[in-house]
């Protein structure tokens, strides 16, 4: 996936995605002390998954060219810039002022960043409404970037950014899963629209990277859909992401 004039070559996708270190646990309302209508952060699912690499610079990489920490940072920056432009334009077109999410904060250690008084765990990414920031475990995110590809970074950022937009729009779903699947749809819309208007260019394999990433972040099949912290099965998350991707925000039930 390419923004602006940068180009990057892609090799073949991994045949199978193994042990991806991804939960994409993210809270619409932040973690802790946020009241019953703001879903709490689900515990990161790391029991059967390897820990993210301690040193991203030396981790073995997949052979698609999207491997360095510098490339990761550049993709995060692009994803943020494009999200700000995209949502700014959406808000202005409906006559509303837009305030970008105030900060994007990488972290490495549990407890390094808190949201609403609660320490953020490793292997996670969140939007925190108290403080209006996105925080992500950089080692975990780089590992996912290497395993899935650069498209995953745009999805991850797009999903968390969507939670900030939900707050700005005053959207509070009854169940976590509704808030989460809508955020997937909004992430899809932000990416699909950005591809359609030429802001982003897809490289070979990017759509498969989205699918791979979404498969990896689905809830366990035995998790009740109504449980606090449910994000949706891989099938549901894929379905909602591509609804937004293909049909834009009209598919996301924003009003
Ligand atoms: Zn989320």
Residue given tokens 């090799």 in the structure block: 11
Query: Residue 216's pLDDT is what?
Result: 85
Give the pair of three-digit tokens for residue 67. Answer: 């491997």
Band of residue 206 on the pLDDT scale cut at 50, 70, 90? very high
pLDDT digits (tens, 9 = 90+) for 211-227: 999 988 899 988 889 88
Mean pLDDT for 226-240 is 94
Query: Residue 30's pLDDT is what?
Result: 38
CA atoms of 30 and 76, how far apart (whole Å)? 21
Predicted structure pTM score: 0.79
Report percent pLDDT > 70 for the chain: 75
141: CA distance to ligand 1 center in Å?
A: 15
CA atoms of 218 and 143, how far apart (whole Å)? 18
27: CA distance to ligand 1 center in Å?
A: 6
Query: Residue 20's pLDDT is what?
Result: 39
pLDDT digits (tens, 9 = 90+) for 21-42: 334 455 433 332 232 223 333 3
156: CA distance to ligand 1 center in Å?
A: 9
186: CA distance to ligand 1 center in Å?
A: 11
Query: Residue 64's pLDDT is what?
Result: 52
26: CA distance to ligand 1 center in Å?
A: 4
| CA quadruple 35, 27, 237, 9: dihedral, nearest 10 | 170
Band of residue 255 on the pLDDT scale cut at 50, 70, 90? confident
How many contiguous H segments (helices) and E segments (strands) does the chain have?
A: 6, 7
118: CA distance to ligand 1 center in Å?
A: 17
Q: What SS3 class is residue 171? A: coil
Band of residue 236 on the pLDDT scale cut at 50, 70, 90? very high
Mean pLDDT for 190-215 is 94
170: CA distance to ligand 1 center in Å?
A: 16
Strand partners, 201: 2
129: CA distance to ligand 1 center in Å?
A: 12
Query: Residue 222's pLDDT is what?
Result: 86
132: CA distance to ligand 1 center in Å?
A: 14
229: CA distance to ligand 1 center in Å?
A: 9
* pLDDT value at 209 more than 50: yes
Instruction: Classify residue 167 as left (phi > 0), alpha (psi -120 to 50) or beta.
Output: alpha
Ranges 130-144, 168-182, 214-228, 234-248: which has the least confidence: 214-228
Work out the burial of residue 97: count CB atoms within 10 Å of its CB; fewer than 13 is exposed, 13-18 middle, 19 or more buried.
exposed
* pLDDT value at 180 more than 80: yes
Q: DSSP of 118-129, one letter per residue?
A: EEPPSS-EEEET
* pLDDT value at 63 more than 80: no
159: CA distance to ligand 1 center in Å?
A: 6
28: CA distance to ligand 1 center in Å?
A: 6
Q: Closest Cα to residue 241, out of 173, 4, 233?
A: 233
Query: Residue 50's pLDDT is what?
Result: 34
5: CA distance to ligand 1 center in Å?
A: 30
Rounded to the nearest 5 percent, the helix, strand and coil shares of the chain are: 45, 10, 50
231: CA distance to ligand 1 center in Å?
A: 7
Mean pLDDT for 40-54 is 35
Average pLDDT, the chain: 80
Band of residue 67 on the pLDDT scale cut at 50, 70, 90? confident
H-helix segments, the chain: 69-93, 138-148, 150-169, 176-196, 206-216, 234-247
């Amino acid at each position: 996936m390419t923004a602006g004039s940068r180009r990057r070559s892609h090799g073949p996708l991994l045949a199978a995605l193994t042990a991806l270190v991804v939960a994409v646990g993210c809270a619409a309302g932040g973690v802790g002390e946020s009241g019953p209508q703001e879903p709490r952060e689900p515990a990161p699912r790391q029991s059967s998954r390897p820990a993210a690499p301690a040193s991203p610079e030396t981790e073995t990489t997949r052979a698609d060219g999207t491997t360095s920490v510098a490339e990761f940072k550049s993709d995060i920056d692009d994803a943020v810039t494009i999200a700000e432009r995209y949502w700014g334009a959406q808000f202005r077109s409906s006559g509303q002022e837009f305030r970008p999410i105030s900060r994007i904060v990488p972290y490495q250690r549990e407890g390094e960043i808190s949201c609403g008084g609660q320490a953020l765990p490793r292997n996670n990414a969140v939007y925190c409404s108290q403080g209006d920031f996105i925080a992500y475990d950089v080692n975990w995110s780089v590992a996912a970037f290497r395993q899935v590809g650069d498209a995953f970074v745009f999805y991850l950022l797009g999903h968390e950014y969507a939670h900030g937009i939900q707050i700005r729009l005053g959207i509070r779903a009854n169940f976590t899963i509704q808030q989460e699947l809508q955020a997937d749809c909004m992430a899809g819309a932000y990416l699909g629209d950005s591809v359609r208007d030429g802001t982003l260019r897809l490289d070979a394999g990017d759509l498969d990277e989205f699918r791979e990433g979404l498969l990896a972040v689905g809830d366990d099949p035995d998790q009740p859909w109504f449980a606090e912290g449910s994000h949706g099965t891989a099938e549901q998350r894929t379905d909602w992401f591509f609804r937004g991707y293909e049909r834009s925000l009209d598919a996301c039930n924003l009003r």
